Amino acid sequence: MEDRDLDPATLTVHAGRGGSQPGDPMNVPVTFASAYRAEGAVSYAREGNPSWTAFEDAVGVLEGGSALAFASGMGAISAVLEGLPVGAAVVCPRDSYLGTRRYLAEAEERGRLRARLVDIADTEATLTACDGSALLWVESPTNPLLAIADLPALCQGAHQLGIPVVVDNTFATPLLQRPLDADADVVVHSVTKFLSGHSDVVLGVAVTRDPARLAGLAARRSLIGAIPGPMETYLALRGLRTLDVRMERAQANAGELARRLEAHPAVHLVRYPGLPDDPGHTRAAKQMRGFGAVLSLEVAGGRAAADAVCSAVRVMMSATSLGGVETTIERRGRWAGEEAIPESLLRISVGCESVEDLWNDLARALETTQ
């Protein structure tokens, strides 16, 4: 059976297993080596490692392209952006991941790049900003406002202007959306989040179908030196094996919490594309296989009340980051650079706990604010 005939749930379990000969191990072993004996395909370990390859094979199959692992999500993101010429303009969502915006702001200060920040849900405004730019950077859903970009329309419009499109697919994962199928040129992930799934790894990946882009990114990975550790790629692949079951549970939990939160008197607004009245709902229902496991809410009592909720939760963990089996809650506005985010906004990365335990915990924490 060819890989393409298999369901993604099966691929998460079976892709990247290495050899198929009698006696081969079921998992590609972790290879700790800085150099290999001469005359082989790879001589120095900044160029390649069998543990990276196993992970890259699996992500490549899931996204429908060829993957390169990086030391972190930011390693993958900066390798893509470093490929742009000096002075190039990058169109980027105003509410994209903070690190991506910080990278662009810092590059702009040095005259290296220029950032054009847009509302990525507004296709027309985004494509207008693309005119004269060198790259369209898309995140969908965005972190943390959960805005949904029209991926096929943006890819088509940008390509008409001769501009490549990169999609940060961290929130959706390849199980919910495959941007390369919508004609995106590159997909990046913070593997740190859902793909590895256990909050014990920092890792990134970039995926493309274009051999020239792939070669360019591989060369840059080696030159910048943002290479993953073999143990990290092993752990990430081990985590990836359960991506489908984790997403199924976490996403169901997120949907249930979002519905209940909408009716809670201490909540001003819930942002979750799975809610029928969410501004991104129709688009997400059309282009995604599910609505994901991250939701945001604005607490009616404002900033202090939102902080109080984070202090009061006992099952949910008050912590940054997302995509783990455990639920994390954070007031995003506490970070410098997130001033555009409503002060009372809490981002919740919903995990795999019992939904009733999560609800009881959150409802009790919200009641402390009333």
Ligand X SMILES: *Cc1c(COP(=O)(O)O)cnc(C)c1O
By annotation, the residues acting in catalysis are 46, 97, 168, 193
Looking at the Cβ atoms of 264 and 271, the one nearer to ligand X is 271
As measured in angstroms, the least distance from the Cβ of 284 to ligand X is: 16
As measured in angstroms, the least distance from the Cβ of 139 to ligand X is: 6
Looking at the Cβ atoms of 142 and 208, the one nearer to ligand X is 142
As measured in angstroms, the least distance from the Cβ of 252 to ligand X is: 21
Looking at the Cβ atoms of 142 and 253, the one nearer to ligand X is 142
As measured in angstroms, the least distance from the Cβ of 322 to ligand X is: 6
Using CB under 6 A, which of 192, 253, 287, 344 touches ligand X?
A: 192
Residues near 333 by Cβ (< 8 Å), separated by ≥ 6?
Answer: 303, 339, 341, 342, 343, 344, 345
**Should residue 202 be labelled a site residue for ligand X when binding is judged by CB under 6 A?**
yes
What is the DSSP code (8-state) at residue 85? P
- d(C-alpha 192, C-alpha 204), whole Å: 7
Looking at the Cβ atoms of 51 and 192, the one nearer to ligand X is 192
Residues 124-143, interacting with ligand X (CB under 6 A):
139, 143
- Which ranges constitute the DSSP H helices of 225-301? 230-240, 243-262, 281-287
Using CB under 6 A, which of 93, 204, 239, 290 touches ligand X?
A: 204
Q: Give one word for 54, left, alpha or beta, with left for phi > 0 and alpha for psi -120 to 50.
A: alpha
Phi, psi of 135 (to 5 degrees): -160, 140
Using CB under 6 A, which of 190, 208, 287, 296 touches ligand X?
A: 190
Phi, psi of 286 (to 5 degrees): -80, -40
Please identify, among the stretches 47-55, 107-115, 123-131, 185-193, the one whose residues bind ligand X according to the rule CB under 6 A.
185-193
Closest by Cα among 152, 56, 159, 147 to 97: 147
Q: Which residue is nearest to ligand X (CB)?
A: 73
Looking at the Cβ atoms of 155 and 206, the one nearer to ligand X is 206
Residues 305-324, interacting with ligand X (CB under 6 A):
none
Please identify, among the stretches 101-109, 186-194, 216-224, 254-262, the one whose residues bind ligand X according to the rule CB under 6 A.
186-194
- d(C-alpha 303, C-alpha 330), whole Å: 12
As measured in angstroms, the least distance from the Cβ of 233 to ligand X is: 13
Residues near 162 by Cβ (< 8 Å), separated by ≥ 6?
Answer: none
Cα–Cα distances in Å, from 191 out to 55, 218, 233, 363? Answer: 11, 17, 9, 31
Strand partners, 346: 297, 331
Residues 153-172, interacting with ligand X (CB under 6 A):
168, 170
Please identify, among the stretches 176-184, 189-197, 258-266, 283-291, the one whose residues bind ligand X according to the rule CB under 6 A.
189-197
AA identity, residue 7: D
Residues 47-106, interacting with ligand X (CB under 6 A):
72-74, 97, 99
Looking at the Cβ atoms of 294 and 305, the one nearer to ligand X is 294
At residue 292, the 3 state secondary structure works out as coil
At residue 346, the 3 state secondary structure works out as strand
- d(C-alpha 337, C-alpha 326), whole Å: 26
**Should residue 332 be labelled a site residue for ligand X when binding is judged by CB under 6 A?**
no
Q: Under rule CB under 6 A, how many of the chain's residues touch ligand X? A: 14
Cβ-count burial 312-331 (b if 16+ within 10 Å, e if not): bbebbbbeeebbbeebbbbb
As measured in angstroms, the least distance from the Cβ of 81 to ligand X is: 12
Looking at the Cβ atoms of 17 and 102, the one nearer to ligand X is 102
Q: What angle do CA 295, 206, 166 make, to 5 degrees?
A: 70
Please identify, among the stretches 126-134, 187-195, 215-223, 296-304, the one whose residues bind ligand X according to the rule CB under 6 A.
187-195
Looking at the Cβ atoms of 296 and 369, the one nearer to ligand X is 296
Closest by Cα among 209, 193, 219, 181 to 80: 219
As measured in angstroms, the least distance from the Cβ of 134 to ligand X is: 20
**Should residue 193 be labelled a site residue for ligand X when binding is judged by CB under 6 A?**
yes
Which residues make up the interface to ligand X (CB under 6 A)?
72-74, 97, 99, 139, 143, 168, 170, 190, 192-193, 202, 204
